[in-house]
Structure 1
Amino acid sequence: MGLFQRGPARIRLDGAVVLVTGGARGIGARTACAAGDRGAHVWIGDLDPDLAERAATGAQCRRLDVTDPASWQSLVDEIVRVHGRIDVLVNNAGVMPTGSLIAQPLAEIDLTLDVNVRGVLLGMRAVLPTMIAARRGHIVNVASMAGELPLPGMVTYNASKYAALGASLAARREYEAAGIAVCAILPAAVRTELSSGADLGGTLPTVDPEQVADAILHTLRSRAAQTSVPQWVSPAWRVADLLTPEPLMRLARGVADDDQALRINANAGRRGYLDRIADQTRAHAEPGIRESGIAESDISASGIAE
């Protein structure tokens, strides 16, 4: 792309074909509903399409395993057969196990990296050919402030979200000349089931899933490379990280209780989420179980705590 060449064209939601992954709960469901309310043709890919259909009335809901290329291709082929194109992909599905790295089961590490990183890459690969052919498209990868802010108790999750952010920024450069905008969203703590067991008050920035959904859809106008939610969090963190001596930063982190992810699994309120993570980990480790209908959206994560 030339120095003064215009970037990818804006895509209007009214009439756009939008695919949202992990759309049965939380951020994904709110994004699907908001896009539908603004006139988009919305498709949801989730391991529990029945739950997604109840969460986002009017959306076309299909089963999707984001770690499986064939599952992606089947859904993309169907959407293209119906509409002839895909205008917007929202890569939202994800998982967020927490706790000490050395205590984390290897299967849980595999699940986190496969869903949060492989799922994002496979999603982009699946939709890019049709977007390139149309010379237009918009991809939003829901990463996390954990893609910039390292936290004790979230080593694997941090690794996956740093990767998702890096992949987004690289793909943005690689495909902008083809008319495709790739944007990353970095939510802070989000008030959904994933935050169960965590103290979301005090110094921890916290938002509602509707706010993240609004930020996702706003990227169709802004086409910003990355957007934190709240918007001030990412710029403030970069400045603080650059200018604050490590001893002072360590003190500030202690005041902010930044290591609570090491402890939240002991809280009774997180039990339901942990049970679903265990089921999903087992299903992912044993592919034959994947057809059991465990809902990926039950454990989808798009922020430090979706």
Structure 2
Amino acid sequence: MSMPSPVAGRIVAVTGGARGIGREIAAVLAAAGARVAIGDLDRPAVTATAAELPGTVHGFPLDVTDTESFRGFLAAVESLWGPVDVLVNNAGVMWVGPFDAEPEAATARMLEINLHGVIRGVRLAAPGMRERGRGHIVTIASAAARLSPPGESTYAATKHGVLGYLTGVREELRGSGVRISVIMPGVVATELAAGTASGAASLLAPADVARAVVRAIERPRFEVTVPRYVGPLVRLAELLPQRLRDSTFRRLVPDQVAATRGGTERAGYERGVIDPGDRS
């Protein structure tokens, strides 16, 4: 007889859960027996996703850039099922292109969602977890937390910031029973990455990231790269002299300026980055 997953019965809150990686994380966790709350800025989509996914899934409106919205999301989940055992910070956006062509509105949105949204979630969820002596915060960062592809400079800055922030928070929470994990995937086949290149690594599916999240919950680790070999490879390359390091990373890391030049695949998505109400 197989043992139930350690995820079974846990109360999990997933931000940005209406589509893409967040939706897949919710689906896999619910299939493993977790009670999953998905929050998203797109109310119709989060309601539809919650209805479509099997298992115990409930959808809530959530704006990770608004403290009261985030606080209300966590409170609503607690009112429904009880305190959140696992918070998955998944919400994120990405504008791609030359650094000097990036609209200020895109810069602001990436900083506010990708970085401050994570800080906000940790600040709201971790103190209660510490009081209870247990809890887990899993954040979907990116391989860009260790690398900086051309064309993704601000996006990479937000992911570097997430890793730096959580490194410090993890030390503050040492011995408290609260676990911190950072998932760092390569390029994933989602709307966020449409039209970009994956470099030397294979293009990932959202399910690859979702499985990494489940593994991190079952057997907590701080840094998780997807694929796994990326972490050791980057650390090894960082030991090289600068000239060799540069040439190595140029072979491995995609040039997203070149990959997206002249393309139109990202136009609709990036209008939505700048103006969340514009998904045309």
TM-score (norm: length of structure 2): 0.90
Q: 1:265 to 1:70 in 2, by over 3 A?
A: farther
Which structure carries more helix by proportion? 1
| CA-CA distance at 1:119 after TM superposition | 0.2
| CA-CA distance at 1:169 after TM superposition | 1.7
CA distance in 1, matches of 2:274, 2:228: 33
Partner of 1:248: 244
Partner of 1:180: 178
CA distance in 2, matches of 1:221, 1:114: 30
Partner of 1:215: 212
What per-residue deviation string (whole Å, max 9, x for no partner) do you get for residues 185-237 of structure 1?
0001111122221233x623421110100101111122111100001101111
The answer as to 2:44 corresponding to 1:50 is: yes
Partner of 1:239: 236
Q: Is the 8 A contact 2:197 2:259 kept in 1?
A: no
Query: Secondary structure at the residue paired with 1:266?
Result: coil
The answer as to 2:243 corresponding to 1:267 is: no
Aligned residues: 272
CA distance in 1, matches of 2:102, 2:267: 16
TM-score (norm: length of structure 1): 0.83
CA distance in 1, matches of 2:193, 2:201: 12
Q: 1:159 to 1:257 in 2, by over 3 A?
A: closer
Please tell me the residue identity of whatever aligns with 2:200.
T
Q: 1:254 to 1:38 in 2, by over 3 A?
A: closer
| CA-CA distance at 1:263 after TM superposition | 4.8
Q: 1:101 to 1:14 in 2, by over 3 A?
A: same
Please tell me the residue identity of whatever aligns with 1:248.
L
| CA-CA distance at 1:62 after TM superposition | 0.8
Query: Secondary structure at the residue paired with 1:59?
Result: strand
Please tell me the residue identity of whatever aligns with 1:269.
E
| CA-CA distance at 1:256 after TM superposition | 4.5
Partner of 1:18: 12
Query: Secondary structure at the residue paired with 2:84?
Result: coil
Partner of 1:109: 107
Q: Which one of the candidate residues 157, 163, 166 is aligned to 1:165? A: 163
CA distance in 1, matches of 2:249, 2:130: 44
More off after superposition, 170-179 vs 82-91? 170-179
| CA-CA distance at 1:54 after TM superposition | 2.7
| CA-CA distance at 1:118 after TM superposition | 0.6
Query: Secondary structure at the residue paired with 2:196?
Result: coil
CA distance in 1, matches of 2:68, 2:146: 32
Please tell me the residue identity of whatever aligns with 1:71.
S
| CA-CA distance at 1:265 after TM superposition | 5.3
What per-residue deviation string (whole Å, max 9, x for no partner) do you get for residues 4-62 of structure 1?
xxxxxxx9311110000001111100000111111111101100133123334241111
Q: Is the 8 A contact 2:237 2:248 kept in 1?
A: no
CA distance in 2, matches of 1:67, 1:262: 31
Partner of 2:70: 72
CA distance in 1, matches of 2:138, 2:257: 27
Q: 1:249 to 1:178 in 2, by over 3 A?
A: closer
What per-residue deviation string (whole Å, max 9, x for no partner) do you get for residues 126-156 of structure 1?
1123212221101001111100012211111
Q: Per chain length, whose mean CA-contact separation is higher, i.e. which structure has more relative contact order (CA < 8 Å, sep 6+)?
A: 1
| CA-CA distance at 1:259 after TM superposition | 1.9
| CA-CA distance at 1:279 after TM superposition | 2.1
Q: Which one of the candidate residues 273, 278, 288 is aligned to 2:274? A: 278
More off after superposition, 175-184 vs 226-235? 175-184
Query: Secondary structure at the residue paired with 2:83?
Result: coil
Query: Secondary structure at the residue paired with 1:227?
Result: strand
CA distance in 2, matches of 1:80, 1:29: 21
CA distance in 1, matches of 2:163, 2:258: 23
Partner of 1:84: 82
CA distance in 2, matches of 1:111, 1:275: 12
Query: Secondary structure at the residue paired with 1:121?
Result: helix
Q: Is the 8 A contact 2:105 2:274 kept in 1?
A: no
CA distance in 2, matches of 1:113, 1:38: 33
Please tell me the residue identity of whatever aligns with 1:278.
I
More off after superposition, 51-60 vs 132-141? 51-60
